Structure 1
Amino acid sequence: MKRFIIPFILMCVLFLSACGNSTKNQAAGDANKEDKSETETITYQSENGPIEVPAHPKRVVVLTGNAGDVISLGVNIVGVDEWSKASPLFKEQLKDVTTVSDEDLETIIELEPDLIIGGSDNNNLDRLKKIAPTVTYTYNKVDYLTQHLEIGKLLNKEKEAQDWIDDFKSRATTVGNKIKAKVGENSTVTVMESYDKDIGILGNSWGRGTEVLYQAMGLKMPEKVKEMTTKEGYYMISSEVLPDYVGDYLVVSKYNDQDNSYQKTELYKEMPAVKNDHVIEVDGNAFMFNDSLTLDYQLEYFEEQFLK
């Protein structure tokens, strides 16, 4: 009996030892995989040429209006611009994220980003590039859907970005057809935003829902708006000439801290769009951008407002 017990105990010891070594080897393998994931890079073809960026970025600083694209693609943001932080659509996702600008270099260093996304007009780009790989975009250099795809390529999530684009285009076409069937194929829509005592009339790619209305859903803008916004994307006017630019429907992007007194004037109240209750007011902070999350929100909002 003793001769049987001793070899059995020895076998157990050897088995446990082998299991221990296997667990250690697996843990080491997992650690190596994690290290490799953190150091792996891809080459992104930016508008300024190829740049090496993390294949799986984990700490991104966003200094331009693409925070919604990054959030929707499931990538972690550690620093963000103040305008994105002000959007109620991103409130939950950005609640613990530090607000930074292109001047807050020390704060950005402390955030230890592995990728920085900025605009071509940002300051201190040379210094930002020393902190982490920095990719910049020129606003409206590409259309809004291509911009989302570019962010997807940058974050190594091109398929996810393309899937959203295909789905959004399909949904927007369906909603656009419903709206045009109700308001008429030739009905026109004007998008405006007030700036102190002046008013900005917006073209077809200036955020505030313009991409959804004019490009995705195919609604029309008044000819005078099209003419005056072609060059800059927007056109500044005084409230006195507002009726000359307002179509059958008016979308008003509003901020609580802006002067909206023009809406109390007889000139404003007598415009056909106002008298016909064809005014759609939107939260300027929620409607500012044209990222994927904001576009989804805008599409749903317009569907509700136009078809109610």
Structure 2
Amino acid sequence: MLRQDMRVKVGGARWLPALVAAAALLVGGAACGGDTGGGAEGKAPPSAGSAAFPVTIKHAAGETVIERAPKRVVALSTGWVDATLALGVVPVAGNKWSASGAVFAPWNPELKEPATTAINTVADISVEQIAGLRPDVIFGSYQVTSNKGLYTALSEIAPTIGIIGTDNQDGTWQEILATVGKVLGKSAEAQKAVEEGERRLAGVATTYPGLKGKTVSYVVLRQPGTVQAGARPNDHLVRFFQSMGLGAAPGLVKLESKGGETGFLSYEQLNALDGDLMFIGGFSDSEMAGFEKSELFKKIPTVKNGTYHVLDAEKIGAMRTPTVRNISYLLDAMRPALEKAGS
């Protein structure tokens, strides 16, 4: 994990003539100018009291000082986008949602181009494109945090905040929301949103009392011969399930306790998927359909028991990134499985 002791002071948008020099800092070559349209002015947060600023945000790339509430926000990950929207601010740019080819995540219908520019964060991020949007703050992705040259280049445009988690993954949706609340001068609103989200998740156990003591696994098809699953305590989806009263599948917990790698399982380890229910999907629906017909699939304990539930690529993508904004979207997708297991 990158650890830079770098403090970036927020002035206005400091996209000097140094933009060219900043772009040159990119590792792997200078970024090409894609769509450099300025986009619509982001909906500004209400004027925050002067006591809220300046505020120092600690993150995986160092520290960033925010001197006043930003109006134009660029958010380069789903968690940042959703937290910004939850606090009433529409970003001038957000990461492109790629689970199904959609421009933005389906639970954010208010995001539309060209008012909000979609930034491709899978390929090389264009510094020039972001500079053209004249942001007041940039919430960076893992790609930004792990690339010192890219982080420095973006910091020359506007104060830039890296991921706030550890172990090379971003923080929880609660931590992300709290951070955005500090940056926007809306900490009280952020706390209320966290409490509401947690209440809704905890309410699942009340709605479906039969879920008590039940266990669950999620599986994402990767390259041939490997699936992604998880039982690590810091796994975001494991925490998401725990907030509803669901534990991790015993086989995965056992594998984790023995020092095994539960992030990725070989087909020979599929017997670890022995929870009371399982959510499974692929990065494409055709990929999942092919796997579902295989003999390997039929040998998975939860498949034998008939307690598995296939999710399309859009929903499995959302499940891997729980946020304050997609809780309802995920619960709707999971409802048939929860009703069956909780009855």
**TM-score bracket relative to the smaller structure:** 0.7 to 0.9
Does structure 2 retain, via aligned residues, the 8 Å contact 1:78–1:111? yes
One-letter code of the match for 2:266?
Answer: S
One-letter code of the match for 1:79?
Answer: A
Q: Which has the higher contact order (CA 8 A, sep 6+)?
A: 2
- Equivalent position of 1:111 in the other structure: 133
Question: How many Å separate the matches in 2 of 1:301 and 1:257?
Answer: 15
Question: How many Å separate the matches in 1 of 2:47 and 2:107?
Answer: 31
By how many angstroms is 1:177 displaced? Answer: 3.7
Q: Does 1:188 align with 2:225?
A: no
Compared CA separation, residues 279 and 45, structure 1 to 2 (3 A): same
- Equivalent position of 2:324 in the other structure: 292
- Equivalent position of 1:11 in the other structure: none
> Which among 108, 112, 132 is matched to residue 90 of structure 1?
108
Question: How many Å separate the matches in 2 of 1:281 and 1:43?
Answer: 47
CA deviations 1:167-212 (Å, max 9, x no partner) are 2222222212443x324x33221111011212011235545x4432
Does structure 2 retain, via aligned residues, the 8 Å contact 1:88–1:285? no
By how many angstroms is 1:50 displaced? Answer: 4.9
Compared CA separation, residues 232 and 192, structure 1 to 2 (3 A): same
By how many angstroms is 1:104 displaced? Answer: 0.3
Does structure 2 retain, via aligned residues, the 8 Å contact 1:115–1:132? yes
Task: Map residues 174-253 of structure 1 onto 2, 5 A cutoff.
Answer: 174-179=203-208, 181-183=209-211, 185-197=212-224, 198-203=226-231, 205-207=234-236, 209-214=237-242, 216-228=243-255, 234-253=262-281
Does structure 1 retain, via aligned residues, the 8 Å contact 2:57–2:66? no
Q: Does 1:259 align with 2:287?
A: yes
- Equivalent position of 1:73 in the other structure: 87
Q: Does 1:46 align with 2:57?
A: yes
Does structure 2 retain, via aligned residues, the 8 Å contact 1:43–1:52? yes
Does structure 2 retain, via aligned residues, the 8 Å contact 1:53–1:115? no
Structure with the largest fraction of strand: 1
Task: Tell me the SS of whatever aligns to 1:285.
Answer: helix
Question: How many Å separate the matches in 1 of 2:142 and 2:265?
Answer: 28
By how many angstroms is 1:63 displaced? Answer: 1.4
Q: TM-score, normalised by structure 2?
A: 0.68
CA deviations 1:68-96 (Å, max 9, x no partner) are 11111111211222237452222542443
> Which of structures 1 and 2 has the bigger CA Rg?
1
One-letter code of the match for 2:132?
Answer: E
Compared CA separation, residues 193 and 229, structure 1 to 2 (3 A): farther
Compared CA separation, residues 164 and 37, structure 1 to 2 (3 A): closer
> Which among 141, 154, 157 is matched to residue 183 of structure 2?
154
Question: How many Å separate the matches in 2 of 1:62 and 1:80?
Answer: 5
Does structure 2 retain, via aligned residues, the 8 Å contact 1:188–1:220? yes
Q: Does 1:61 align with 2:87?
A: no
Question: How many Å separate the matches in 2 of 1:229 and 1:79?
Answer: 39
Compared CA separation, residues 169 and 226, structure 1 to 2 (3 A): same
> Which among 113, 118, 140 is matched to residue 99 of structure 1?
118
By how many angstroms is 1:248 displaced? Answer: 1.9
Question: How many Å separate the matches in 2 of 1:192 and 1:81?
Answer: 24
Task: Tell me the SS of whatever aligns to 2:156.
Answer: helix
Task: Tell me the SS of whatever aligns to 1:217.
Answer: coil
Question: How many Å separate the matches in 1 of 2:261 and 2:97?
Answer: 20
One-letter code of the match for 2:75?
Answer: V
Flag structure 2 segments of 5+ consecutive residues without an equivalent: 1-43
One-letter code of the match for 2:264?
Answer: M
Does structure 2 retain, via aligned residues, the 8 Å contact 1:287–1:298? yes
By how many angstroms is 1:229 displaced? Answer: 5.2
Q: TM-score, normalised by structure 1?
A: 0.75
Structure with the largest fraction of helix: 1
Q: Does 1:165 align with 2:194?
A: yes
Q: Identity of counterpart residues, as a percentage? A: 24
Question: How many Å separate the matches in 2 of 1:304 and 1:94?
Answer: 31
Does structure 1 retain, via aligned residues, the 8 Å contact 2:57–2:63? yes
> Which among 274, 277, 283 is matched to residue 306 of structure 2?
277
One-letter code of the match for 2:270?
Answer: L
